Amino acid sequence: MKVILHCFELAFGLKVNFSKSRIGGVGVDHTVLQQYAAILNCEVMKNPFKYLGLLVGGSHKRVSFWDGVLERVKSRLGRWKGRFLSLAGRVCLIKSVLSSISLFYISMYKFPSAMLKEIEKIQRRFLWGYGSEGRKIAWVSWKKACKPREAGDLGILNLRLFNAALLGKWIWRLETKKGGLWKEILESKYGGWRNLQKQRSNAKDSN
144-164 confidence digits (pLDDT tens): 888 887 777 788 888 888 888
34 and 66 within one domain: no
Using pLDDT thresholds of 50, 70 and 90, give the confidence band for residue 182.
confident
Q: d(Cα 94, Cα 156) in Å, to the nearest integer?
A: 7
26 and 74 within one domain: no
Range of the domain at 9: 2-46
81 and 18 within one domain: no
Q: Is residue 170 in a domain?
A: no
* Contact in structure between 107 and 54 (CB atoms under 8 Å): no
Q: d(Cα 86, Cα 90) in Å, to the nearest integer?
A: 6
Q: Is residue 130 in a domain?
A: yes
Sign of the alpha-carbon dihedral angle for 165, 166, 167, 173? positive
153 and 59 within one domain: yes
154 and 80 within one domain: yes
Q: Is residue 169 in a domain?
A: no
Q: Is residue 185 in a domain?
A: yes
129 and 199 within one domain: no
What is the total count of domains within the chain?
A: 3
Helices 67-75 and 113-127: crossing angle, nearest 10°? 0
Q: Is residue 131 in a domain?
A: yes
Q: Is residue 171 in a domain?
A: no
Using pLDDT thresholds of 50, 70 and 90, give the confidence band for residue 203.
low
Find, among 35, 10, 31, 6, the residue nearest to 18 by Cα.
6
195 and 100 within one domain: no
41 and 8 within one domain: yes
How many Cβ atoms sit within 10 Å of the Cβ of residue 145? Answer: 21
Using pLDDT thresholds of 50, 70 and 90, give the confidence band for residue 95.
confident
68 and 26 within one domain: no
185 and 101 within one domain: no
**Identity of the highest mean pLDDT range in 9-18, 92-101, 135-144, 168-177:** 9-18
88 and 30 within one domain: no
Cα–Cα–Cα angle for 64, 66, 72, rounded to 5 degrees = 125
Residue-averaged pLDDT of the chain: 79
22 and 85 within one domain: no
The residue length of the chain stands at 207
**What predicted TM-score, i.e. pTM, was given to this entire model?**
0.68
Q: What is the mean pLDDT of residues 109-122?
A: 85
Q: Is residue 67 in a domain?
A: yes
